[in-house]
């Protein structure tokens, strides 16, 4: 199958060109289309450099790199999607723009061509609503950088046929990716479950319990996470992370659990976007020393546990609402955002009774809905069961 399919990718930004590389190195002919000729040329040069670097490192042979690069056709014309059996859209997160391009793509391709979106925050059902044959729509959400990150979330919409879901998952699996199946709800698995990693860290800072560096230290040194929440937000970009938070909050009908933070909003408004702007929660200017954390173990443990039980509760609630299977939820968090353990497995290890007690203490102390324990957690503690 993988040798026969011609794959289209719309959008030549970091994500689009990364997806094109993944498909090309898996043996597919790829049409990479971007109406912006300058962006397309930049992507072409960048992809060539990336592939040559893999040759220098000894990861690829020169022949393999040249063949993979040769399989990518760079074009400014969407008509070059003709003959594609799957197209993955990776453009701006704007529903009107997506509606326009999906209608156009459908008019170019054959009736069996699968039309996929790499959206991280928009409804797949809504994107597919403009199609004459909405059975062919599906979400295929890669993580950045696409060639390196193993996880891909596969998101069928209510209109998607079972066959399209199966073919898409098998195809992406053949690209040596780890696929998980997610329900078409805001944030899918990863962006939904990960919200408290940022939100609760910001809340702890706003309460004056600890500064950015201390919270990051608690989560990396005591929690085992690769990056602390503030380092990670600076890496992602405060503008991007805040927009996702705001989008998820609105999409969940303003559920308090996903409420954005004024601290992040103000940093974003001030242009403190993180590494890309030279300043975020930390100052990345040359010669500026990073602040030292206050390495108080008792405070650190308190920070770690508070963020962790919030993450666990979110993962448990995702299972409660059938967003994904327990296996896929844990797989998504370890392979998609490099968590040290799957959150459901981690909750078992901490003891579900302990997780519930910590959440109930927070709920009682604050009286806020954001701390309400998942009904599934209460049921499991009551019945003495585990994940």
Q: Which residues form the catalytic set?
A: 120, 141, 153, 191
d(CA 330, CA 306): 19
Q: Examine residue 245 and say whether the peptide bond preceding it is cis (omega within 30 degrees of 0).
A: no
d(CA 41, CA 362): 53
In 3D space, the residue among 182, 187, 188 whose CA is nearest the CA of residue 245 turns out to be: 187
Containing H/E element for 86? strand 86-89
d(CA 43, CA 52): 14
Q: How far apart are the first and last CA of the chain?
A: 36
Neighbours of 247 (CB within 10 A): 19
Q: Which residues make Cβ contacts (< 8 Å) with residue 12, sequence separation at least 6? A: 20, 32, 33, 34, 36, 39, 40, 42, 43, 74
């Amino acid at each position: 199958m993988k040798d026969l399919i011609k794959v289209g990718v719309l959008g030549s930004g970091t994500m689009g060109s990364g997806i094109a590389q993944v498909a090309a190195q898996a043996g597919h002919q790829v049409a990479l289309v971007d109406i912006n000729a300058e962006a397309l040329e930049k992507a072409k040069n960048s992809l060539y450099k990336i592939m040559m670097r893999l040759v220098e490192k000894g990861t690829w042979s020169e022949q393999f790199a040249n063949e993979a690069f040769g399989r990518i056709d760079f074009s400014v014309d969407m008509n070059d999607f003709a003959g594609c059996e799957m197209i993955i859209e990776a453009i701006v997160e704007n529903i009107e723009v997506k509606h326009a391009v999906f209608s156009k793509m459908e008019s170019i391709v054959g009736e069996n061509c699968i039309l996929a979106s790499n959206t991280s925050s928009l409804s797949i059902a809504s994107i597919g609503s403009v199609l004459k044959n909405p059975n062919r729509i599906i979400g295929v959400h890669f993580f950045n950088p696409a060639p390196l990150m193993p996880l891909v979330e596969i998101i069928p919409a209510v209109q998607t046929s079972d066959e399209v879901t199966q073919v898409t998952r098998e195809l992406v699996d053949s690209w040596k990716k780890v696929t998980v199946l997610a329900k078409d709800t805001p944030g899918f698995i990863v962006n939904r479950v990960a919200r408290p990693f940022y939100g609760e860290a910001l809340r702890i800072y706003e309460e004056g319990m600890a500064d950015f560096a201390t919270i990051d230290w608690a989560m990396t040194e005591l929690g085992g996470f690769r990056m602390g929440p503030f380092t990670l937000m600076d890496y992602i970009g405060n503008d991007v992370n805040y927009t996702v938070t705001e989008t998820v909050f609105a999409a969940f009908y303003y559920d308090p659990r996903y409420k954005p933070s004024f601290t992040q909003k103000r940093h974003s408004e001030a242009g403190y976007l993180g590494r890309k702007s030279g300043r975020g929660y930390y100052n990345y200017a040359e010669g500026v020393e990073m602040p030292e954390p206050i390495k108080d173990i008792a405070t650190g443990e308190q920070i770690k546990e508070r963020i962790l039980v919030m993450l666990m509760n979110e993962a448990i609630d995702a299972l409660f609402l059938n967003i994904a299977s327990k296996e896929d939820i844990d797989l998504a968090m370890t392979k998609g955002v490099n968590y040290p353990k799957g959150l459901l497995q981690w909750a078992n290890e901490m003891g579900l009774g302990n997780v519930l007690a910590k959440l109930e203490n927070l709920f009682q102390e604050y009286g806020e809905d954001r701390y309400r324990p998942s009904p599934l957690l209460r049921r499991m503690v009551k019945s003495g069961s585990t994940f």
